[in-house]
Amino acid sequence: MRIRIAQRVPNTQAEGPGRRYALWVQGCPIRCVGCCNPEMFGAAGGHDVEVAELLAEIASVGGLQGLTLLGGEPFAQAAAVAELAAGVRALGLSIMVFSGYTLAELSSQGPDAARLLSLCDLLVDGKYDAEQPETGRRWIGSRNQIMHFLTARYAPTEPQFRSGNTVEIRLGRGALTVNGWPAVADALRPRR
């Protein structure tokens, strides 16, 4: 099975608790106004990668706490993303997903979405609203979004969920990669 991806950062602390492998999927039917990743809207962008290849890459990065799935919209490729999430869970790592859909909307999207939800430890849900930037909750883009603690792996009372957002900037192989807090990351991206 293949996943259409836009970007990956194998080692980040700006996309969820602990050291994480972050994977941005390509394609988003929601297309939030003000999204910091509009280049990921179209399903034809990015490139296809075998789930087994991604799983082997994630397993080779030592010291990870988990996988964070962003986009685009991870639930737009729910079957393939759930297959990856199941493999990552088998490695003992946590799963965090950012979705423009609400938990209630995802609960009625069918068996692939249900399987992916069942593998999530953390879900940040809701459309991004650029008019409501979140500054008090870590890893949340806008105030309307909710972080759901779907397993006992993490607790909302942990200090790491109340600290400020961060941005990471990397330069490698002739490319600048910016990830983290949407408003700041977007401001730092080069304009065409």
pLDDT tens across 103-151, in order? 999 999 999 999 999 999 999 999 988 888 877 778 888 889 999 999 9
What pLDDT, on the 0 to 100 scale, is given for residue 133? 82
pLDDT surpassing 80 at residue 192: no
Residue 165 has pLDDT above 80, yes or no: no
The one-letter code for the residue type at 95 is I
130: how many CB neighbours lie within 10 A of its CB? 15
Instruction: Over range 180-185, report the average pLDDT.
Output: 56
Q: pTM value?
A: 0.87
Q: Enumerate the β-bridge partners of residue 146.
A: 125
| Domain, as residue range, for 81 | 2-188
Query: Cα–Cα distance between 86 and 10 in angstroms, integer?
Result: 18
> If pLDDT is split at 50, 70 and 90, which confidence band does 25 have?
very high
- Residue pointed to by tokens 């809207």: 41
**Whole-number mean pLDDT of the chain?**
87
pLDDT exceeds cutoff 60 at 184: no
* Residue 114 identity: A
β-sheet bridge partners, residue 15: none
Per cent of the chain over pLDDT 70 is 85
Q: Which residues pair with 147 in a beta bridge?
A: 124
Cα separation values, 76 from 19, 20, 21, 173, Å: 25, 22, 20, 30
Q: Which two tokens stand for residue 184?
A: 């700041």
- How many domains, the chain? 1
pLDDT tens per residue, range 81-111: 999 999 999 999 999 999 999 999 999 999 9
